[in-house]
Every structure is written in C-alpha cells, then in structure tokens.
Amino acid sequence: MPYAIEMEDVSRHFGSVKAVSDMTMQVPAGLTFGLIGPNGSGKTTLIRMVAGLISPTRGRLRVLGRHPGERTVAIRTGYMPQADALYRDLPVRENLNFFATLYGVPRAARKARIEEVLALVEMLEYANRPVETLSGGMKQRVPLACALVHSPELVLLDEPTVGVDPELRRTFWNYFRTLASQGVTVVVSTHHLDEAGRCDQLALMRGGRLLAMDTPAALLQRSGQPDLESAFLHFAGVTNHA
C-alpha cells in the first residue's frame, strides 16, 4: 500500500474555530512522519480525525485505504493520546492486557506480546506496579506500550515526548525508527523542532494549515536555512506574505 493516510482538502471546524483548514497531503506507509507545529496549530485535531474520533467538517480522508473510524481501521491502528489515558489504579500489565483484549490480540499470543512490548519500553521489572505508583518518566512509557500492544500497522502518537527527559526521548525515537524499519507507519506530533530532524518526513503546520511537507533535508534545502527552526519560520513567513 503506497499511502497510510490520504487527505484532500480536509477541514475541521469547532463552531467558529477553524482547527484544521484545507489540508491536502499523503503519508507514505512504513516511515516515521512528523507533524510539526506550535501549540494550537491543529496537530491534535488532525490526529483525532485520523484516529476516527472526530469527522472532518469537509474534505476526503482515507486511513489505510478506508474510512477512518471503521472497526477494521481501528484494529490496525495504535493511538496514544496526549493525556496519559491509563487506568491509574491498575498495574502496568493489567493496562496492557486490557488494551490487548480490546484490540482482539488472541489469548495464546497475548502474554508473549505483552512481555515483548514491556521489554521494548524497558518496563519489565515494573510491570506489576500500579500505574499511579510509577514515577513520571516510567509512567510515560506505558501509554506507548499500550498503543503498540496489538502490533498495529499505523501508530498515531500525539506529542509522545512532552515532558520526557532527553535520554528517554532518544530511546523513544529509536523505537520509532525500529518500528518504521519493520514496515509500521509512525505518525508523531511534536513541537520540539530539535527532534523533528529524526523523522523521515515532516509536515509543518501552523494555524491549522499545512505550510510544507518534505524530508528534513529537503526542507532545509528549499528554505536555504541552517536548521529546522529557521526553516519553519521561513515557511511560516512565506505563507504570511503569500
């Protein structure tokens, strides 16, 4: 499948607020794709539309070749919202087991798969601790494990590295690259421009609009800027004058 996500003139309005306006882009399958933009640029709204949580006000959106929110799409998608979205009174393993059950991971494979994702996020030794007793850094690995427990083809991660220390952030990005190398499409939203360079492709967003979409190297080249931060400002400025 060439594209994991296809959108054509997609807009989403909340009353008079235009959260996303006329976005047209294609996300190729099997790479890490960064949604880059400041707070309020429409990243979360876009991810929630792709996750099938809200429908576009206008436009055509296809996820894994189908209508988002369809059950078959939901099963093949992993979603990690901005909030922890965990059952804090339950142990880590119970949380994973719940989501594995929710996504229909077969009983026989469940246990092994849970151990696998626990190992991936380096949480094996804390697996039986209730989530609420975990420290902040440890707690943040759990939603990622929950989003991956059913081996999805498409992973939507809404700001997975907010408040994550630099060491763990590096570990996370290594996971994302590993996943992409296995053919998984990893969509990551972030407002950290320093980590955007690790993505295969980037979509720069501002005010609900797509400023530019390309590989990090191509964005630097097109803008003639030395770093992505300057490149972002360059594209934002160009749009403002246009």
Partner 1 sequence: MPDGSVPAFSKQTGIGASVGRIAGLSRRIIRQLAADHRTLGFVIAAPALIMTLLYFLTNITPAPPVVAVQAAAAKDLPAAAAWQAEVITALQKTGRVEASKLSPAYAEEPAKAVTDGQAYAVLILPSPSPTGSQPVQVVVDGSDPTANQTVLAALSQAMAAGQPAHPPVSVAVQYIHAAGFKLMDFFAPVFIPFFVFFFTFLLTVVSFLRERTGGTMERLFASPIGAAEIILGYLGGFLVFALIESLIVLFFTIYVLKIHYQGSLASIFVVEVFLTVLGVNLGIFLSTYAKNELQAVQFIPVVIIPQALLAETFWKVSDMSWLLRGLADAMPLTYSNLALKDIMLRGKSLGDVAMYLVALGAYTLLTVGLSAVAVRRAR
Q: Give me the residues that bind partner 1 (CB under 8 A), please.
A: 51-53, 71, 74-75, 77, 79, 81-88, 99, 102-104, 146
First CA to last CA distance, the chain: 35
Residue 48 beta carbon to partner 1: minimum distance, rounded to whole angstroms: 8
Q: Three-state DSSP class for 23?
A: strand
Q: Which residues of 193-221 are buried (b: 16+ CB within 10 A; e: fewer)?
A: bebbebbbbbbbbbbbbbbbbbebeebbe
Beta bridge partners of 77: 154
Least Å distance between CB 84 and partner 1? 7
Q: Closest separation between CB of residue 28 and partner 1, Å? A: 22
Which residues is 214 bridged to in the sheet? 202
Distances in Å between the Cα of 156 and the Cα atoms of 1, 21, 176, 218 are 18, 20, 11, 24
Measured from the CB atom, the residue of 77 and 189 that comes closer to partner 1 is 77
- CB nearer partner 1, residue 158 or residue 195: 158
In the complex, least distance from residue 238 CB atom to partner 1, rounded to whole angstroms: 35
How far is the C-alpha of 176 from the C-alpha of 225, rounded, in Å? 26
- Give least dist CB 214 to partner 1, A: 29
Nearest CB to partner 1, comparing residues 152 and 216: 152
Which residue lies nearer to partner 1 by CB, 30 or 78? 78
Q: Is the CB of 51 or the CB of 187 nearer to partner 1?
A: 51
How far, in Å, CA of 183 to CA of 30, rounded?
4
